[in-house]
Structure 1
Amino acid sequence: MDPVRNPYAPGAGSPPPELAGRKDVIENAQIALRRVAIGRPSQSPILVGLRGVGKTVLLVRIKHLAEADKIRTIYIEAHEGKTLPELLVPGIRQTLFALSAIANAKDKARRGLMVLKSFMSGLKVTINDIEIGIDAEAGTADSGDIEADLPELMLALAEAASASKTTVAILIDEMQYLSEKEFSSLIMSIHRINQNALPIIMIGAGLPQILGLAGNSKSYAERLFTYPKIGALSERDAINAIVNPAKSEGVRFEIGAVNQILKVTKSYPYFLQQWAYEAWNIAENDIIKARDVFAAHNNALSTLDESFFKVRFERCTPSEKKYMRALAELGSGSFRSGDIAEVLGVKTTSVAPTRGNLIKKGMIYSPAHGDTEFTVPMFDEYMKRAMPNYKFRD
């Protein structure tokens, strides 16, 4: 069929044509945004799930909903190459300058910029093309300790927002890349803002290890945040994600074609989009059959290997790849660290640093103490394709 009309949208962060099965998550986030906007306390949602389940898509949707409600947004994506202050400063600066144009907030916004300059000085944050033509406020947010300084900065931002009758939503993707101290500073900031009933809310998304990060940071994190789990779609929602976009183009999926896509993708949203996209391009007419899905299989798998799996695989060292291949050898699901070490023929303690590095890189996580699982669905199958017939011992 005509690839131009293809309604499916495989790709990292690409919004699917049918955002199936996520209505409750979106509604609860919107309720939290609107409660904060009217001065009511609300727990901030942090979306938790594996790769490819649509966390980024949801976070972007929440951002758009916030903006539709006239809420200012600061959107950042955490990663290994930058610290939290480096990521936050540009958005906070831009927001404070915008608030300084509002008559009632001019003084508070100006003070916020002074505190921002102190914050940058204390933590030695230097960002290209970022200049604040104003003196720092000595003694505020300039200690060089992010746990002490970020709450001061966020409080100054919140007070400026309150003076202008503006709500600010800070949205943070890939939160698992934050250090424990950075996460702790965010928790302390939100706790302080909530205590003063000020109009700032933080909404985040990250891999499952963020639950441990939150628990390690501050005991009251569970009272400040909710952690909606974003996973594979239910069968009904997965069918809707496949069938409805095609229906809007006058195209029908045979039940056998739908069942085959459900089977091979395990109802993970990213993979549903990829297989439906390829099946559409293979089909000769406006009825997509099971044979089209079978014919599209290699194309879908090849595209995923290159664009979804390989980019993560290539970030890893040879020893990390060997560890992941051993995990894949055990199959899908969660396995004890000792089982992986046994496949490698070594002691568990000798591969602990490698395991730790892979957790930091977001390749694996620990669903329970001593257990290990891939953060990317179906990555075990990819590892076997990438490293077939691997010999773990000489």
Structure 2
Amino acid sequence: MNPNPFKPTAGKRPPMLIGRESVIEDFEEGLDNGAGAPGRLMLITGNRGCGKTVLLRELQRLANERGWAVVSDSASLGLCDRLADALRSNKPVVTSMELGPSFGRMSVEAARAKGETLRGLVNERLKRLGPGKGILFAIDEAQSASIEELAALAVLYQQVLGDQDATGLSDSDQRGLALVFAGLPSMVDDLLEEPSVTFLRRAQQRTLGAISLPKVRDSYIQTVKDAGLYVDAETADLAARKSMGHPYMVQLVGYYMWRSAVRRGSQVIERRDVEDGHADAVSEFYEAVDAPLYYGLRSPQRLYIEAMAVDEGKPTRMADIIERCDRTQSWASKYRASLIRERVIEAAGYGLVRFTVPMLGAYVRDRVLWHE
């Protein structure tokens, strides 16, 4: 039996990291080009399911291959303490357990003290690494961390650069620190608004969006072939269109169309496998992406997008939202702004808005409004 090559599990590395080549190249160049190279400081953002965690783990793998120490964490309150503990443990790779969101804050003074502790630990660890090597801090779900702790890490990065300059070594021989944050788009907004971390405005910002459909089609053809089955270009093109180029849907459609063919006992993925697989993929996408997003919104925000969901596949007029919700113009403007900031919706022309998250409107119609 040919194992299914598609990996829709959250954070699992897919066979091909299509559409992310430029981010990977920038990061590799950053590690290879010596102290202060731009690719060593990155902010990776995107909506849920766009592949941030997968990409972050690929960057960790590349750093590890180059002899860098890698410390990874899923952010929440206490981030700096856990990073310090990881450095004290002297292990080459440390991955914390996935912690739930934390909305606590700490004092600026406490964050600075933790940053100073980290600075000493980082410099001690760097002394034990070879010339040109360093430590990668890979921070996932960064929007859940205390802004003060993220600011402390940004300051730490700058301080370590200065400490290494003071050694008198060439840029290529200096030990370094790389810092990659991955999180929802609101994370970048919060970080760049923080007065104490203006340095982060020089970080490479990479927003992960949809993958071009021709790349998806070609990856389907190659991945299926490498794993021992066959799909023709026309069928692969249909699968690509069904995926909408969304990284998670690419894996879901691939997984379920493969499963459909195998269950038929066929070595060829056909159009019917894509159609059947797409139905399963949509159901899983609803549960994994759309449902958590919808139920994670505040009640007024949910009311707002329920009003939008009525307009199937087309932008919604602000005037219609006001009428459907029986609310004021100021109410609609307030929650429009909040949903745009959280990248749930976007402006679609004068007085118009539309969803940015795939199938969110369909989910609300199918699973929320239909049941009311």
Aligned equivalents of 1:215, 1:338: Cα separation in 2: 33
| 1:18 lines up with 2:16 in the alignment | yes
Residue from 276, 280, 294 that aligns with 1:313: 294
Aligned equivalents of 2:114, 2:333: Cα separation in 1: 33
Contact 1:171–1:204, Cα closer than 8 Å, also in 2: yes
Contact 1:18–1:244, Cα closer than 8 Å, also in 2: no
Deviation per residue, 1:343-386 (Å, 9 max, x gap): 422125446786788789x6737789x99765633222212212
Unaligned runs of 5+ in 1: 100-122, 126-142
Contact 1:7–1:245, Cα closer than 8 Å, also in 2: yes
Unaligned runs of 5+ in 2: 92-103, 165-174
Counting only pairs closer than 5 Å after superposition, residues 161-200 of structure 1 correspond to structure 2 as 161-165=125-129, 167-197=134-164, 199-200=176-177
1:96 alignment partner in structure 2: 88
Scaled by the length of structure 1, what TM-score is found? 0.74
2:63 alignment partner in structure 1: 66
Aligned equivalents of 1:177, 1:354: Cα separation in 2: 22
Contact 2:36–2:161, Cα closer than 8 Å, also in 1: no
Q: Aligned pair in 2 of structure 1 residues 348, 208: CA closer, same or farther (>3 Å)?
A: farther
Deviation per residue, 1:6-26 (Å, 9 max, x gap): 211112112111222222211
2:305 alignment partner in structure 1: 324
Contact 1:173–1:205, Cα closer than 8 Å, also in 2: yes
Aligned equivalents of 1:175, 1:338: Cα separation in 2: 36
Give the superposition deviation at 1:316.
4.4
| 1:75 lines up with 2:68 in the alignment | no
Residue from 192, 202, 207 that aligns with 1:215: 192
AA of the residue aligned to 1:383 = V
Residue from 281, 285, 299 that aligns with 1:300: 281
Contact 1:208–1:367, Cα closer than 8 Å, also in 2: no
AA of the residue aligned to 1:162 = L
AA of the residue aligned to 2:72 = Y
Contact 1:209–1:365, Cα closer than 8 Å, also in 2: no
Aligned equivalents of 2:238, 2:105: Cα separation in 1: 55
2:28 alignment partner in structure 1: 30
Contact 1:73–1:170, Cα closer than 8 Å, also in 2: yes
Contact 1:209–1:366, Cα closer than 8 Å, also in 2: no
2:270 alignment partner in structure 1: 289
Deviation per residue, 1:173-204 (Å, 9 max, x gap): 12223344343333222222233336222112
AA of the residue aligned to 1:258 = A
Stretch deviating more after TM superposition (344-353 or 374-383) = 344-353
Give the superposition deviation at 1:159.
1.8
Aligned equivalents of 1:252, 1:19: Cα separation in 2: 20
Give the superposition deviation at 1:45.
1.6
Give the superposition deviation at 1:161.
2.5
Please state whether the residue corresponding to 1:220 is helix, strand or coil.
Answer: helix
Stretch deviating more after TM superposition (253-262 or 345-354) = 345-354
AA of the residue aligned to 1:236 = P
Contact 2:35–2:161, Cα closer than 8 Å, also in 1: no
AA of the residue aligned to 1:364 = V
Deviation per residue, 1:152-186 (Å, 9 max, x gap): 23321232123223621110112223344343333
Give the superposition deviation at 1:76.
1.1
Q: CA RMSD in A?
A: 3.5
Q: Aligned pair in 2 of structure 1 residues 67, 313: CA closer, same or farther (>3 Å)?
A: same
Greater RCO (Cα-Cα under 8 Å, separation 6 or more): 1
Contact 1:151–1:192, Cα closer than 8 Å, also in 2: no
Counting only pairs closer than 5 Å after superposition, residues 1-394 of structure 1 correspond to structure 2 as 5-35=3-33, 38-42=34-38, 43-78=40-75, 82-83=76-77, 86-98=78-90, 145-165=109-129, 167-197=134-164, 199-217=176-194, 218-223=197-202, 225-283=203-261, 284=264, 285-316=266-297, 318-330=299-311, 340-350=321-331, 364=344, 376-388=357-369
Stretch deviating more after TM superposition (7-16 or 250-259) = 250-259
Q: Aligned pair in 2 of structure 1 residues 178, 353: CA closer, same or farther (>3 Å)?
A: farther
Stretch deviating more after TM superposition (185-194 or 284-293) = 185-194
AA of the residue aligned to 2:276 = A
Aligned equivalents of 1:359, 1:180: Cα separation in 2: 21
Q: Aligned pair in 2 of structure 1 residues 213, 373: CA closer, same or farther (>3 Å)?
A: farther
Give the superposition deviation at 1:322.
2.2
Scaled by the length of structure 2, what TM-score is found? 0.77
Deviation per residue, 1:268-320 (Å, 9 max, x gap): 12101111211112223122121221233322222222333334434445544
2:169 alignment partner in structure 1: none
Stretch deviating more after TM superposition (288-297 or 321-330) = 321-330
Give the superposition deviation at 1:33.
2.7
AA of the residue aligned to 2:128 = S
Aligned equivalents of 2:238, 2:290: Cα separation in 1: 22
1:130 alignment partner in structure 2: none
AA of the residue aligned to 1:221 = L
Aligned equivalents of 2:181, 2:31: Cα separation in 1: 13
Please state whether the residue corresponding to 1:219 is helix, strand or coil.
Answer: helix
